[in-house]
Structure 1
Amino acid sequence: MPHKFNADRRDKIPKQKHRVTNWAEYNESLRRRGDLTVWISEEALALWSAPRRTQPGGQPVYSDLAIKTCLTMGMVFRQPLRQTQGLMCSIAKLLGVEIAVPSFSTLSRRGNGLTLRVQRQANGKAGIQLVVDSTGVKIYDAGDWLEEKHKTQRKGRSWRKLHLGLDLVSGEIVCSDLTTHGVGDSTALPGLLDQIDGPIDLFLADGAYDGDPTCDLLLARFGEGIEIAIPPPKNAMLSSDAAQKPTIRDRQITKIEAYERIAWQKTSGYNQRSRGETLVGHWKAVIGPKLKARSFENQKAEARIGVRVLKRMTELGRPNFERTA
């Protein structure tokens, strides 16, 4: 938000300069992101076949781990399902392992409702500094082709909304969800908080989460010790009972009026919310700006796999910066 208030002199503000202090380790982690041994382990090969069913019915051939591994490889190397099948066949041949590779139709069918265990974030006694943000991702649609060929304008565009939560301390994605574009950010917040085990010390979000319901939800779940930094709009008004019982939103409005918005952003730590926007940009650069799956359930599974891919890449190594100017 600061650039909105400094727009008239933005070109005169010197840009900060940083350098990476652990370049050798970070460079090695970037190389390992494309290493096949990172994505296919001996455990995955051992659990490739599905366990036999004890109930009547057809016997599954591939385990959920096998389907997840194939879909993960396709997402990492940005391959459609048919090319993913070919990729896995070549990998199995090069590794010299006797495994059956699912066909592209099997990957599509089993991806619908694929069970992925939620990786809950347990941070022990240390509290999480949570930053949440959302972005729109495109889905399969013939509208772009029709618009280009027939020079017509579509009535509406189809897209989904991806919600991501980042821990500022560990730098990991601790919660995520994929919803339709009609679901508001504050409406999706309870589902994101359900994925977190442990206390939250700081909550940062943009103005889409502004309102007493969000603050009441956070206070009810994490107690009075949580710090909340959500910028109210310029025309925000104090509540009717602000003199006797001021809410968190009332106190933020009062501080902004007293010290101006830029000073409030620095003192409250709201400037760190830019890391949430960086995470969104990282998603679209690594995973891509659109989803390949066509059904909503497959799209949710694809988004969950994308979150696991980004978390795995983050675990390989992160850069450490220091300011030089």
Structure 2
Amino acid sequence: MAATALEKFRLLFPGLVIAGLVAVAAQFLNEHYGAPAMLMAILLGMPLNFLSEETRTAAGVDFAAKSLLRIGVALLGVRISIDMVQTLGLPMLALIASGVVATIGFSLLVGGLFGKDRLFSFLSGGAVAICGASAAMAIGSILPKRPNADRDLAFTVITVTVLSTVAMIFYPVIAGALRLDPEATGVFLGGTIHDVAQVVGAGFSISEDTGDLSTLVKLIRVTLLAPVVFVAALILRRSVEPGAKRPPLLPGFVIAFLLLAALNSLALIPASVQEVASQISRWALLAAIAAVGMKTSIPKILEVGGPSIWLVVVQTAFLAAFVLTGIWLLG
């Protein structure tokens, strides 16, 4: 048993080390130059595409792209608690949840106009609606195996991360031009920007209170990742052809996410453990995204085409308009 585990570790080690090194480089660029770490991880990984086919590294790269992803998403649960959800009040919670549902539904409706199938529309719409790269990778892990799945995932991660960075810069300006109060601004930023890091950057660029609120709203959106993945897995199980392998009804990493969130809500996770788990989650997701980049061919990414970019742009604009309209109606 121990020998088998050691052999597996030796098989995975080279690819895992390379994915880890790419993650470290991406974090370095983030800390020293302000570049989005997730975007840097996938862009630095893509030129190393040949390593995903190299015998000595292929297994480790594949493990990083799949298993590390699930570990990272599961550990996001330590940042969620029921107290966070209760802080905002029912009307704002309803707005946040309906924004997620409406954006995914809108994506499924308009995807065909851009020449994309429902799976791609759901992948990109879920990434926009929930939490950017993390959501894209979680949703991608439950979708049926199909040609160009890695390409579509990499494209979605890159596009939502770039748009999230653009939103971080311009959404505070839009909030100021619309003369939104600090609470409304926090809800707008947290309810519309794709990635957590960019929400933090946008919110705290205005004020500490706005930063705290926008981060809270964003983490509530992250909470919705679990039910969205669950419902999607349920639908996908029904839609597969007889005899084909069905996705699990509730993936193990989603169960772990919910369990950790429940433990955190009961104050059973010490702050020190929470901090360590958050850091492990971040590094696991960075390494996983680096591995996704390594499994992605740059020429294949270019095959996705302009309509796909415009689809994600339209999804982003829809979510922003939906949340702004909700804030206006709620007064």
Larger RCO (CA under 8 A, 6+ residues apart) = 2
- Bigger proportion of residues as helix: 2
- Bigger proportion of residues as strand: 1
Larger radius of gyration: 1
> Which bracket does the TM-score occupy, shorter chain normalised?
under 0.3
Q: So what's the TM-score if we normalise by structure 2?
A: 0.22
Q: So what's the TM-score if we normalise by structure 1?
A: 0.22
